Amino acid sequence: MSPSFVNAAYYPCWRIYRDLPPSSLQLDFISHVLYAFVLINTDGTLRFLDEHADCTIAADGEQGCLSAVSKLKAHRPWLKTLVSMGGGTGSAEFPAMAADPAARETFARSCREFVDRWGFDGVDIDWECPETPQDGANYMALLHALRRALPRPRYLLTTALPVGEYCLRHLDLPTAGHLLDYLNLMAYDFVGPWTDVCGHQGQLLPPPGKLEHTHPNLRNSCHGAVEYILSRGFPATKLILGIPVYARSFEGTHGVGQPFTKAEEMDYNEMPREWIHQASIDQSAGAASFVDRSPGGKGFVSFDVPETVQRKAEYVKWMGLGGLFYWTGVGDIKGPESLVWAGYQALHSNSQSS
């Protein structure tokens, strides 16, 4: 594993119930594993999301997925492991906790104790997300407390943030760039049940002449979000571009910009293989899709394929970014259809193009 680029993967503990333990990750192509999720209390203490999955279920010959992730490092000295705090449904306590100086210190100390107990290398903060100026200030105070408790070079400190200006505009990005090792940019979910029309959920570029997006203050492409963050002083080499290892489908639609009757989500490895093999590549957007016209079909389906991941990896090199990450690593397919492998190969090839 070359240290020059990050190729990170999130491991969601609940996937153990689908017989996908941490060892099912494509570890030969992964530099960092981020364990999702551990939850927080408003007083700064921690709690398990699923104590059975985390600590007791049989996983890779260990008791619990936390021990199984720690075990991964035994034969892979290059591998870094982080525990991700919060998540999309686990962020409600962040605003109150981060607003309380005593709770912030408790949280930072609890994170250090957790990392040391389980043999991890650091912490990933997945607060989704600071939406007010006060939340933004408290987020920065939280990062300061965490960095004091998790000093370099022994510990890593990262965060996952969305592409929306509704969040990013409240953050002191230059200071965040100093405190963080990486910012994991969730460069996906540009469309979904919350939007009026369907489209590409993780397009690299906004296609010219097409309906872009109806959500206010949301960058509608990977490039738009990257430009915004870099223009505000965040270092490019610490910015990691996210890859969705899942599809979004929009029933009742056959193309970008159409209103839909139902929106659903499925992991990449749950998709019919013909969708991947027969995907249409929008070269102007750097996005892939398939239209399921079968009776009761899913309609327009947006997802990444190896070709679009390769292009995103080339974009990372062209822009001088730090690498890629995948939500989730266990949603991938092994072999030539693998997104993790495609990203790794492209990041470590000699060519560079936009």
For the ranges 28-37, 124-133, 181-190, 219-228, the lowest mean pLDDT is seen at 219-228
Residue 210 has pLDDT above 70, yes or no: no
For the ranges 6-20, 93-107, 216-230, the lowest mean pLDDT is seen at 216-230
Q: Residue 248 and residue 265: Cα distance in Å, rounded?
A: 5
CATH number of the structural domain spanning residue 238: 3.20.20.80
For the ranges 12-26, 74-88, 276-290, 340-354, the lowest mean pLDDT is seen at 340-354
Domain membership flag for residue 271: no
CA dist 327 → 20, 53, 241, 242, 324 (Å): 14, 19, 11, 7, 10
Q: Residue 213 and residue 302: Cα distance in Å, rounded?
A: 15
Q: Residue 176 and residue 183: Cα distance in Å, rounded?
A: 9
Q: How many domains does the chain have?
A: 1
Query: What is the rounded radius of gyration, in angstroms, for the C-alpha atoms of the chain?
Result: 19
**pLDDT tens column, 284-303:** 999 999 999 999 999 999 99
> How far is C-alpha 169 from the chain's CA centre?
20
Domain membership flag for residue 281: no
**What is the share, in percent, of the chain residues with pLDDT greater than 70?**
94
Domain membership flag for residue 210: yes
Residue 180 has pLDDT above 70, yes or no: yes
Residue 27 has pLDDT above 90, yes or no: yes
For the ranges 201-205, 217-221, 277-281, 304-308, the lowest mean pLDDT is seen at 217-221
Taking all residues of the chain, what is their mean pLDDT, rounded to a whole number? 94
Residue 2 is classified by DSSP as -
Burial class (CB in 10 A: 0-12, 13-18, 19+), 95: middle
Domain membership flag for residue 231: yes
Domain membership flag for residue 101: yes
Q: What is the pLDDT of residue 74?
A: 87
Can you give the residue range of the structural domain that contains 96?
Answer: 6-245+305-347
pLDDT band for position 209 (cuts 50, 70, 90): low
Give the tokens for residue 93.
């306590």
**pLDDT tens column, 316-351:** 999 999 999 999 999 999 999 999 999 999 999 985
Domain membership flag for residue 211: yes
Give the tokens for residue 248.
């979004």
Mean pLDDT, rounded, for 255-280: 97
Domain membership flag for residue 183: yes
CA dist 344 → 15, 100, 220, 330 (Å): 23, 41, 25, 16
Mean pLDDT, rounded, for 232-253: 98
Mean pLDDT, rounded, for 135-155: 98
Looking up tokens 């075990």 gives 71
Q: What is the pLDDT of residue 351?
A: 53
Domain membership flag for residue 310: yes
pLDDT band for position 22 (cuts 50, 70, 90): very high
